[in-house]
Amino acid sequence: MKLAEMLGTHKSRLWTLSKQMGVDYAVAGLPREENGYKPWDFMNLLHMKQRFENYGIQVEVIESRPPANKIKLGLPGRDEEIAVIQELIRNMGKVGIPVWCYDFMAEFNWFRTSTTTPTRGGAIVSSYDHSLMKEAPFTENAPISEEQLWENLAYYLKAIVPVAEEAKVKLALHPDDPPISPIRGVSRILTSADALQRAIDLVPSEYSGITLCQGTLATAGDDIPAVIRRFAKQNKLFFVHFRDVRGTAEKFEETFHDDGKTDMYAAMKTYAECGFNGPARPDHVPTMDGESNEHPGYETLGRLYGVGYIKGLMEAAYR
């Protein structure tokens, strides 16, 4: 397993902390528009990759997306959005960034009803309570049916999978978070391991696989070691979000890595037994004492805790 961290696009304190913790791999965002280059342009991606490499960090994944809501909703203009994403994939291949983590959550991305839920020792996590959304207003484009989304996903994959094959870039599809449908009139279709399987089977390719977000699939009620084996056996396990939760899709909260519902050592042991050697990152972490919670799930101290915990599990399981 290549232990990575979400490190943005430009040097920060997290780059230094990551190197000090022995993390040599990065999950990057899309660089901002600079010197006339769009975020997905070849030169912008090349400059970002070189910034990391000059600091001794290898970019394994881009986990950021150009605008894609028209694609997801099947609206006029979706072909223009697809063309940009095709350009991103081609340029990732040219500069040598091997994995693109993408999603198919229409209107909004990961979603929570609280980002200030107290957990162990007064640390703060995000949580979701579906009962609080009963009176929430529909989004501008709602209602959106599951059938519409499946049709639009098929259209999308038919357009980008051949490009990924040419570029030799792996498409790692992330499940919907929360894995429950609908929210604000917007259906969610990637709400389980079975749904992820259906999605990547729409346009079969060795370059179309999944991001195994343990927290989301544990919330959905899937057995994490079984899911690892299922997708690793098919060589469809491209990227891992190694995190945990407590609760169900109807009501759950994030946790420290050692305080959730999943047997995390059993999960790590399964990765080792399957020979998984791809990138993984801690993902959402608690906000700890002295931190502002300005970036819920992505403050610093919880990352340090998560990386240390994962490194210990890796040493035990892979040995």
Q: What is the pLDDT of residues 217-237, one digit of tens each?
A: 999 999 999 999 999 999 999
Q: Write out pLDDT tens, residues 111-169.
A: 999 999 999 999 999 999 999 999 999 999 999 999 999 999 999 999 999 999 999 99
Q: Which two tokens stand for residue 41?
A: 């342009």
Distance CA 150, CA 148 (A): 6
- Is 24 known to be catalytic? no
Q: Are 255 and 241 in contact (CB under 8 A)?
A: no
Q: How far apart are CA 158 and CA 248, in angstroms?
A: 33
Q: How far apart are CA 30 and CA 22, in angstroms?
A: 24
CATH class, 2-318 region: alpha beta
* Axis crossing angle, helix 193-202 with helix 224-233, rounded to the nearest 10: 20
Written as six digits, the tokens of 18 are: 């990551």
Give yes or no: 155 in active site: no
Is 47 known to be catalytic? no
Measured CA distances, 119 to 37, 243, 252, 300 (Å): 43, 15, 12, 17
Residue range 265-289: mean pLDDT, rounded: 97
Q: With beta carbons less than 8 A apart as the criterion, state whether 152 and 77 touch.
A: no
Secondary structure class of 100 (helix, strand, coil): strand
pLDDT of residue 184: 97
Domain boundaries, the chain: 2-318
d(CA 195, CA 197): 5
Question: Rounded to an integer, what distance in angstroms lies between the CA atom of residue 6 and that of residue 62?
Answer: 9
d(CA 107, CA 303): 28
Annotated catalytic residue: which of 101, 156, 244, 284? 284
256 within 8 A of 304, measured Cβ to Cβ:
no
**Catalytic residue (one of 241, 244, 257, 305):** 241
Q: Parallel, antiparallel, or unpaired: how do β-strands 170-173 and 99-102 relate?
A: parallel
pLDDT at 66: 96
Q: 41, 101, 207, 213: which one is catalytic?
A: 213
Check residue 35 and give its pLDDT: 85
Residue of 25, 101, 102, 174 marked catalytic: 174
Is the pLDDT reported for residue 319 higher than 90?
Answer: no
Residue with tokens 């899309």: 30
Average pLDDT rounded to a whole number, residues 199-209? 98
Residue 271 clears pLDDT 90, i.e. is over it:
yes
The pLDDT value given to residue 34: 87
Write down the H helix ranges in 168-300: 193-202, 214-219, 224-233, 264-273
Mean pLDDT of 301-313: 97
pLDDT greater than 90 at residue 285: yes
Percent of the chain exceeding pLDDT 70 equals 100
Catalytic residue among 155, 298, 309, 318: 298
Residue 283 annotated as catalytic:
yes
Secondary structure of 157-190 as H, E, C letters: HHHHHHHHHHHCCEEEECCCCCCCCCECCECCCC
| Active-site choice (25, 177, 283, 305) | 283
Helix pair angle (301-318, 264-273), 10° resolution: 50
Distance between start and end Cα atoms, the chain: 12
For the chain, the average pLDDT equals 97
